[in-house]
Amino acid sequence: MPPLLRTCCTALAAILALGSPAAAKPRAAAAAPAYDLIIENGRVMDGTGNPWFQADIGVREGRIASIGDLHAANAKTRIDARQEIVAPGFIDMHSHADGLAGRLIGLRSPDRQRREARNIVTQGVTTVVVNPDGMGDPGLTVAAQQAELAAAGIGPNAAVLSPHNTIRLAVLGDDYRRKATATEITAMRALVRKDMEAGAFGLSTGLEYMPGRWADTDELVALMQEVAPFHGVHSSHMRSDAEAPMWYIPSRDPGSPTTVLDAVAENIAIAERSHSVGVITHIKARGVYGWGRSREIIAMIDAARARGVQVYADQYTYDTSGSDGKIVLIPGWAMGAPDDLDSVDPIADYFSQMRPKRKPVDRKAALRTTLADPAAKAALYRDIAFAIRFRGGAEHITVFDAPDRSLIGQSLADLARKRGISAEDMAVALQLEGTDAPGGARLRSFSLDENDIDAFMRQEWTATSSDGGVKLPVDGPATHARYYGTFPRKFARYVNDRHALSLAQAVRSSTSLPAQILGLQDRGVLRVGAAADIVVFNDREIRDRADFTNPHQFSTGVDYVFVNGVAEVSAGQATGALAGQPLKRPHP
């Protein structure tokens, strides 16, 4: 046979062999499940801010293995996400999910229901950043906390921050109402460095709380110089988010108080001087003084970023602050407390050594004594007027619980008008006629303006956070709705209802932006090789249901949530899978 003919015959035989049973064997072998999971027909939003595109996502061994047309591929599980958004799992930049007493109420709790964190994962959250506000368990290093989280088994992933207040207390002890010495700063730096070496994602500070409020800027710059080499963040609850800090009492605190603008300037300075990443956490402009100041704050941050300072913010999606809705308008000094501790620093309750031991006082009797002294009464009414303005005015302060049930749902202004008295008089009446607890009733203030919320939310440097944590119905009604609804509310209210930002922007600010800020290189985006933290939701039906009368209600519209490729939410129901893990920031 001539060589040319032999070559042609060989080629023809090879072509014919492609359809033979022998050639089909490799295809049969490939028919074994190639993926653990395929999410098909979804509108994929990759987290970067790009618009959605149609694609399937294949997951293998907890990672995204493929994105494209996978209709012919085999998988152990297939989910049809037709007409739904498939996005990276949401990252909560400020979460108390590990609790101030984490072993009891947070992700390290012996109670499995706490560790499942169903109120969190049903929002689409796959990672929480814990130890915010400078608060962590005393005596517990980040390494030890990570080990406990890993051993316990948790619903969402957890990224741990090094807590400044806890570290400051460990070094300074009870003598913390002062600047730290050079020796003490050196000791604090060593503890921060140890936490960073263990994989902490940065340093958190609570500069409106004890003992952090006595730390000066130089101390914070020095500590952030330990964080900067690891490219970690400074997540800061600033010294003030209003016309004064929450602890400020006009009759007791001389001098000009720190304003929100002063606090923003300090946080920018810390980032600039330490060459680090600054995050103004739960950014807001609170109270009558603060409304409209978002414009000035945004201009300050934009100017800093324009000159190369890495400054970001995170934000929750409500116009009311305070986890438990127990604001107090009457300062502690007027009710027999040795100082203002009754009304200004609820988080510091956890640090028992930070509060002086004292005998119980009869607040009502002490208040009557104060009112009987004309000079003391004048000072008290000045303080109450400030507190009302700080909280957004009497029209924005609502009663949610009181011995007299007829008061519930009414504003302080409404109650005062009905009695024909001033708002200050009404605040006093609530204390005298109510319970002996500070305030006499459970009051919640709606002290933020939604125009400011919109303005902050639109900024490309603002990520999403909840300032929430793990909650169960047994925790009672004094629970902020943000514990259950922060992320769905962003889509329902601010995308669909108010049109404050686009769907793509809302996804980005909840996914790739926080991942970028934190340095999470394999989360917050949908791409091949990334961790399979994925949320599937209906962008038209997603909605928060929790409110301040009935806060323990799961959000709707989030149909599937995968953490490391495992379903924590399936067909809208939490599974309790405990697929989360403690994350560690990679060393540079």
Domains for the chain: give ranges and CATH numbers. 3-87 (2.30.40.10), 92-321+447-577 (3.20.20.140), 356-445 (no CATH)
pLDDT value of position 29: 42
CA distance linking residue 313 with residue 315, whole number of Å: 7
**Tokens found for residue 192:** 């921060």
- Farthest CA pair distance, the chain: 123
Question: Which segment of 252-256, 369-373, 548-552 scores lowest on mean pLDDT?
Answer: 252-256
Residue 348 has pLDDT above 70, yes or no: no
Report the candidate in 312, 351, 308, 325 with the shortest Cα–Cα distance to residue 463. 312
Give the pLDDT score at 356: 53
Average of per-residue pLDDT values in the chain: 92
Joined tokens for residue 412? 């302080």
Does position 249 have pLDDT exceeding 70, yes or no?
Answer: yes
Please report, as a single letter, which amino acid is at residue 30: A
Residue where the block lists tokens 């204390």 = 431
What predicted TM-score, i.e. pTM, was given to this entire model? Answer: 0.92
Distance CA 456, CA 142 (A): 31
Q: What is the rounded CA–CA span in Å between residue 280 and residue 177?
A: 24
Where helices occur in 310-439 by DSSP H, the ranges are: 341-344, 363-372, 374-390, 412-419, 423-433
Scanning 307-397, the segments in alpha helix (DSSP H) are 341-344, 363-372, 374-390
At 172 the three-state DSSP class reads helix
The CA-atom distances, in angstroms, between 380 and each of 126, 333, 424, 518 are: 47, 9, 9, 45
- DSSP 8-state assignment for residue 130: E
Report the amino acid identity of residue 258: T
User: 3-class secondary structure for 469-531?
Assistant: CCCCHHHCCCCCCHHHHHHHHHHHHHHHHCCCCCHHHHHHHHCHHHHHHHCCCCCCCCCCCCE
Condensed to tens digits (0 to 9), the pLDDT of residues 427-463 reads 999 999 999 989 999 999 999 999 999 999 999 999 9
Question: Is 3 a residue whose pLDDT tops 90?
Answer: no
Return the pLDDT at 103.
63
Q: What is the pLDDT of residue 11?
A: 41
Q: What is the per-residue pLDDT across 487-514, written as a single tens digit (0 to 9) for each? A: 999 999 999 999 999 999 999 999 999 9
Helices (H), 88-199: 102-105, 112-116, 118-121, 142-152, 164-172, 182-197
Rounded to 5°, angle at Cα 466 from 460 and 503: 45
Please name the residues in contact with 397: beta carbons below 8 A apart, sequence gap of 6 or more. Answer: 327, 329, 388, 391, 411, 412, 413, 443, 444, 445, 446
pLDDT at 48 over 90: yes
pLDDT digits (tens, 9 = 90+) for 358-404: 667 899 999 999 999 999 999 999 999 999 999 999 999 999 999 99
Q: How confident is the model at residue 139 (pLDDT cuts 50, 70, 90)?
A: confident
What is the share, in percent, of the chain residues with pLDDT greater than 70?
90
Whose CA is closest to 162, among 213, 225, 205?
A: 205
Helical (H) or strand (E) element with 159: strand 157-160
Whole-number pLDDT of residue 272:
98
Gap between the Cα atoms of 379 and 262, Å rounded: 26
**Cβ distance 472 to 523 under 8 Å?**
no
pLDDT for 21-42, tens place per residue? 333 334 444 467 899 999 999 9
Q: Is residue 343's pLDDT more than 50?
A: no
Residue 586 has a pLDDT of 85
- What does the pLDDT average to over 29-58? 92
Give the pairing of strands 277-280 and 311-315.
Answer: parallel
Q: How far apart are CA 242 and CA 455, in angstroms?
A: 17
Among 235, 234, 263, CA closest to 248: 263
What is the structure's pLDDT at 281? 98
d(CA 490, CA 506): 7
Neighbours of 516 (CB within 10 A): 18
Would you state the pLDDT for residue 455?
98
With bands split at pLDDT 50, 70 and 90, how would you rate the model's confidence at 184? very high
Return the DSSP state at 555: -
Among 238, 444, 207, residue whose Cα is nearest residue 324:
444
Q: Which of 24-33, 67-76, 201-210, 494-503 has the lowest mean pLDDT?
A: 24-33
Q: What is the mean pLDDT of residues 86-104?
A: 87
